[in-house]
């Protein structure tokens, strides 16, 4: 016999025993007490058949309710699975968008590096020896992004250049608005050398590069973000003495 059939038979037997030992026994006892005579075998048989039919019905009701409960639980589990799957897809899409944005950003920085180097060389040729001059440029990237616990943010690129080589490149970058650094690097020969930074305040960070030296050809680049609506209008680089 299949295990499911055996469990159903056990359930029917349990209901039959409950009916016969409960309601049926009570009715028979009341009948015998009130009529002062025993119930016939035929009446016992009829009562047993009725109780058996009721036991089958109750066992079927139990199986039907269990099946409905399992279907409902499975539906909830499928809904939860679909929800977390959609969350995972959304997160993957956001990460891909951020990686594409970083790729575009480094392409623009490479072109900017070449233009700044040419401009610096022309200025040196025209003016001759000049005092040390450190410039801090900024670019606002059109794309925005939503960070968890931060909200909508605006991306920026901060570029520090020098008309003379500074080695090691040690100093503090400060802006007129609060910003958060994502990545710090020096660009040299088309490659990026990344390094750590120390946050001094919400508006400034300190960096130190042992190599290569900071110059117009090797600009110091910060990829940062501000909260949407916060504008960076001015930045500066103060060299350590």
Q: Where are the domains of the chain?
A: 3-81, 131-239
* CA 21 distance to own-chain centroid: 60
Q: pLDDT digits over 143-186, tens only?
A: 888 888 889 999 999 999 998 888 888 899 999 999 999 888 88
Helix (H, G, I), strand (E, B), or coil: what is residue 157? strand
Token pair 């920026």 is found at: 156
Confidence grade of residue 212 (pLDDT, cut at 50, 70, 90): confident
State the Cα–Cα distance between residues 220 and 169, nearest whole angstrom.
Answer: 9
State the Cα–Cα distance between residues 56 and 158, nearest whole angstrom.
Answer: 79
Architecture of the structural domain at 131-239? Sandwich (2.60)
How many alpha carbons fall within 13 Å on the CB side of residue 227?
A: 8
Q: pLDDT digits over 49-86, tens only?
A: 676 777 677 777 777 777 778 888 888 888 888 778 77
Helix (H, G, I), strand (E, B), or coil: what is residue 220? strand
Residue 175's pLDDT is 96
pTM to 2 decimal places: 0.48
Token pair 């469990």 is found at: 7
Count CB atoms within 10 A of the CB of residue 161: 24
């Amino acid at each position: 016999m299949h295990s499911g059939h055996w469990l159903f038979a056990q359930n029917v037997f349990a209901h039959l025993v409950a009916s016969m030992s409960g309601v049926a026994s009570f009715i028979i006892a009341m009948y015998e007490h009130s009529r002062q005579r025993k119930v016939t075998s035929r009446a016992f048989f009829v009562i047993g058949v009725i109780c058996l039919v009721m036991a089958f019905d109750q066992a079927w009701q139990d199986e039907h309710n269990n099946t409905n409960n399992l279907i409902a639980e499975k539906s909830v589990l499928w809904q939860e699975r679909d929800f977390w799957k959609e969350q995972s897809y959304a997160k993957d899409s956001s990460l891909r968008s951020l990686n594409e944005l970083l790729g575009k950003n480094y392409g623009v920085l490479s072109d900017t590096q070449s233009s700044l180097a040419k401009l610096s060389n022309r200025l040196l040729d025209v003016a001759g020896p000049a005092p040390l001059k450190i410039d801090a440029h900024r670019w606002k990237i059109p794309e925005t992004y939503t960070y968890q616990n931060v909200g909508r943010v605006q991306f920026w690129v901060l570029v520090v250049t020098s008309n003379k080589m500074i080695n090691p490149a040690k100093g503090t970058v400060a802006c007129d608005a609060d910003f958060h650094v994502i990545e710090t690097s020096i660009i040299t020969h088309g490659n990026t050398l990344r390094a750590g930074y120390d946050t001094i305040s919400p508006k400034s960070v300190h960096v130190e590069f042992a190599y290569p030296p900071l110059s117009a050809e090797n600009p110091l680049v910060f990829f940062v973000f501000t909260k949407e609506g916060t504008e960076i209008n001015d930045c500066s680089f103060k060299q350590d003495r």
